[in-house]
Structure 1
Amino acid sequence: MWAYYDPGAVNTTIGKYGVETYIWGDKEVEFVRCAHCGCITHYQTFEGDPEPRVAVNFRMADEEWVSGIDVRYFNGKEA
């Protein structure tokens, strides 16, 4: 369950354990994970990307916090 934002519309805060990042071969996005548990917190495109975004992993959020947000389901194949 991901929430997508313009990079200027969201702030990320790093916890006490810090983060680690990794980049797949196409080098289009940078995945960020907790250095303690390894869970992916978000990913982000690189500066200069024509469609910049930050995607936040809402599975990491408290259920109570997320409960008031409308969820849109899609299969990735629809326009």
Structure 2
Amino acid sequence: MPTAPDVVVECNCSLCRRYGVLWAYYQVREVSGLPGADDTDIYAWNGEHVDFHRCRICGCVTHWAPRAASRNTLGINARLLDPDMIAGARMRHKDGAGSGKYLD
């Protein structure tokens, strides 16, 4: 697992709001040990852009991964990290339901 995130993001898009997630973003090459397709159910909204992974055992959304090989960022559900690991992170709010821009 990579280092503690400096920033966590709360997105208000219809999926993230319903999932109740906080995203910590990392470069794909920085992360190892995430559950894969054998351990998760995968959902891609409209079949595009990213795959959301949900644990087949507990049902928690664990992360999203890009579908395109040209994209190098993924998101880990920071609500699954130890609270001490994200305690110092700045909280950002993204208007994923509208402009796609950060609100702060």
- When the two structures are superposed, what TM-score results if normalisation uses the length of structure 2? 0.59
**Separation in 1, partners of 2:83, 2:74:** 21
Task: Give the RMSD, CA atoms, in angstroms.
Answer: 2.3
1:59 paired to 2:82 = no
CA gap 1:26/1:13 in 2 versus in 1, 3 angstroms: closer
Moved >3 Å (runs of 4+): none
Judged with a 3 Å threshold, the aligned counterparts in structure 2 of structure 1 residues 65 and 23 are, in CA distance, closer, same or farther, namely same
- Give the drift of 1:18: 2.1
Residue correspondences, number: 75
Match of 1:71 in 2: 90
- Higher relative CO (Cα under 8 Å, sequence separation at least 6) belongs to 2
Counterpart pick for 1:27 among 48, 53, 65: 48
Whether 1:8 and 2:29 are equivalent positions in the alignment is yes
- Matched-pair contact (CA < 8 Å) for 2:63–2:75: yes
* Structure 2: gaps (5+ residues): 1-21, 96-100
Unaligned runs of 5+ in 1: none
Question: 1:53 and 1:32 mapped to 2: Cα distance?
Answer: 15
Percent of aligned positions that are identical: 27
- The one-letter code matched in structure 2 to 1:11 is S
Structure 2 contact 92–102 (Cα < 8 Å) conserved: no
- Which structure features the higher share of helix residues? 2
